[in-house]
A and B are shown apart, each in its own frame.
Chain A
Amino acid sequence: DAGITQSPRYKITETGRQVTLMCHQTWSHSYMFWYRQDLGHGLRLIYYSAAADITDKGEVPDGYVVSRSKTENFPLTLESATRSQTSVYFCASSPRQGGSYNEQFFGPGTRLTVL
């Protein structure tokens, strides 16, 4: 399917476990982003990537790891999940055209609960 997809859509895990959230886009957009959405905070940037093998930290990176070996995939890993990481996670991608950044296209989100 064309677009940006996330899996799983829902995940329940326990404190201390490793969890990986997947993000896949079919547009070959250069830029990809991971956000978490929490009540009262809007969306906060966790990590972003400008291209394959180029990633950098956002506003709230602690406890998360990303990789980008292929342009279309941008997985997010919680190395040892904590209750404070219970949230809704959104992946987004964006093209770069003519030297300017464009709108971001968002996936449907993954609702993660850490017990």
Chain B
Amino acid sequence: GDSVTQMEGPVTLSEEAFLTINCTYTATGYPSLFWYVQYPGEGLQLLLKATKADDKGSNKGFEATYRKETTSFHLEKGSVQVSDSAVYFCALTYAGGTSYGKLTFGQGTILTVHP
């Protein structure tokens, strides 16, 4: 079956540091890939997405590129802020067929940014 693996957390950084959160996936088909973010006490929000190989998703300074050859979708940001402290989830789904858009999530990575 499909699965998503994220780097172990928690990740602790100083403000303005470079961020990478690794995500790799195993899929039987050609999925769409997502990064969701969960701020403390809230539900998940879509951060960015990519629907096919070599697509780059970007939002709020975060970027991730869909790499089919390495089955990866690593999240990066050049300069993190304290307000980026949250839990980040990598996920996949299939755009069609009988999947109904069900998401398969990684285990989540806690990011804490200190001033």
A residues bordering B, Cβ < 8 Å? 31, 33, 35, 40-45, 48, 50, 56, 58, 90, 92, 94, 96, 99-104, 106-109
Q: How far is the CA of A42 from the CA of B89 in the complex (A)?
A: 8
Report if B58 contacts A (CB, 8 A).
Answer: no
Q: Which of A31, A90, A107, A108 contacts B100 (CB 8 A)?
A: A31
Question: Is the beta-carbon distance between A106 and B105 smaller than 8 angstroms?
Answer: no
| Residues in B neighbouring A92, C-beta threshold 8 A | 44
Report if B34 contacts A (CB, 8 A).
Answer: yes
| Least distance between A57 CB and chain B CB atoms (Å) | 11
Q: Which of B34, B45, B106 contacts A106 (CB 8 A)?
A: B45
Question: Is the beta-carbon distance between A43 and B103 smaller than 8 angstroms?
Answer: yes
B residues bordering A, Cβ < 8 Å? 4, 6, 34, 36, 41-46, 49, 89, 93-96, 99-103, 105-108
Q: Give me the 10 closest cross-chain CB pairs, A-B, nearest first.
A: A101-B101, A106-B43, A42-B105, A42-B107, A106-B44, A103-B46, A43-B105, A100-B95, A108-B43, A42-B108
| Residues in A neighbouring B89, C-beta threshold 8 A | 42-43
| Residues in A neighbouring B43, C-beta threshold 8 A | 90, 106-109
Question: Is the beta-carbon distance between B42 and A104 smaller than 8 angstroms?
Answer: no
Q: How far is the CA of A101 from the CA of B100 in the complex (A)?
A: 7
